[in-house]
Amino acid sequence: MLIRRPPELPTREITDESLYLNRRVWLAAAGMAVSALPTSRLWAKTLALGAAQDDKPTSYKDLTTYNNFYEFGTSKDEPARNAGTLRTSPWTISVEGEVKKPAKYDLADLIKGIATVGRTYRHRCVEGWSMVIPWNGIQLKDLIAKLEPTSNAKFVEFTTLMDEKQMPGQRSGVLPWPYVEGLRLDEAMHPLALIATGIYDKPLLNQNGAPLRLVTPWKYGFKGGKSIVRIRFLRTQPATTWNIAAPDEYGFYANVNPAVDHPRWSQARERRIGSLLKQATLPFNGYADQVASLYTGMDLRKNF
């Protein structure tokens, strides 16, 4: 199997943003019947919880035209150009495993009744670049509480849609498809973890992982599974895509640790998209005060 690993620094020029909105799901995710506050005010009001208070958000154009989404191509400009083949409505998510409410859910029904939040988070890519993203969505812990995992559940697995017609990049052998990511249950229950349905108070575009994606800001970007169609609660740690493809480079935990280099480059510094200069990378991407306690006693060099 050919594995094309990401380059150290991106080189392609960005392209014009595409326009694709899934209004029905967005209205549900925006909490029209749940919250009296517009989501723009919501994410402004939640900056205190681990958000990037001192960082300027990355432009909407950059966020929607400079993407990692190998299902639509391995270059940064390809997802925006190629993701129009994805149909995000209707959208069904299968909930399986160690959970009291297994079923196939329509997305709007899955998130119905869960309060929307807005969070502006820093994000660090393993390739050495970073963004600041104003997300809209729901807290993953609230979704998990709604689904009621059993006491046997220790991990949560997220699987991306597998459809070569809609996702032409899956015809390549660049990764073992479908794309799978996972978290320990306590990580998934942390207040910083989100299921995102929008950015900048707008619905996610296809190239950003529409109609829903995982967001864990203290981890490297590959941890954020996109276009999720299955959520599975497990007793044991799931096998995840990049850890299968290149286990010496991409660990299960994927916590941002500038003291542990990637085998082919340093992780000590990063370049914010929109800036020419590099800056120091922070442990846990700057969220150590919130999440470091999850890993007490762990060797974060071995559990990378």
Query: What pLDDT was estimated at residue 184?
Result: 98
Write the single-letter amino acid at 250: Y
pLDDT band at 167 (very low <50, low <70, confident <90, very high): very high
More confident residue, 230 or 26: 230
- Let me know: does 201 contact 96? Beta carbons within 8 Å: no
CA 272 centroid distance within chain = 18
Query: What pLDDT was estimated at residue 26?
Result: 45
Least confident of 45-49, 215-219, 265-269, 297-301: 45-49
* pLDDT of 85 higher than 50: yes
**What is the mean pLDDT of the segment spanning 140-165?**
98
* pLDDT of 2 higher than 70: no
Model confidence over 201-212: pLDDT tens digits?
A: 999 999 999 999
* pLDDT of 193 higher than 80: yes
- Cα separation, 219 vs 285, in Å, equals 7
pLDDT band at 77 (very low <50, low <70, confident <90, very high): very high
pLDDT band at 54 (very low <50, low <70, confident <90, very high): low
**What is the mean pLDDT of the segment spanning 164-186?**
97
Closest CA to 225 of 178, 271, 281, 257: 178
Record the pTM: 0.85
* pLDDT of 31 higher than 70: no
CATH number belonging to domain 23-293? 3.90.420.10
Query: What pLDDT was estimated at residue 55?
Result: 86
Kindly give, in sequence order, each residue whose CB lies less than 8 Å from that of residue 68, ignoring residues fewer than 6 positions away.
6, 76, 79, 125, 221, 222
Alpha helices for the chain (secondary structure H): 23-29, 39-45, 60-65, 78-82, 107-111, 140-147, 185-188, 241-245, 288-291
Query: What pLDDT was estimated at residue 7?
Result: 46
* pLDDT of 145 higher than 60: yes
* pLDDT of 24 higher than 90: no
Domain boundaries, the chain: 23-293
* pLDDT of 142 higher than 60: yes
* pLDDT of 5 higher than 80: no
**What is the mean pLDDT of the segment spanning 101-108?**
98
Could you tell me the CA-to-CA distances from 118 to 33, 48, 97, 187, 193 in Å, in that order? 16, 12, 29, 19, 12
* pLDDT of 160 higher than 90: yes
**What is the mean pLDDT of the segment spanning 63-77?**
98
Query: What pLDDT was estimated at residue 101?
Result: 97
**What is the mean pLDDT of the segment spanning 254-275?**
96
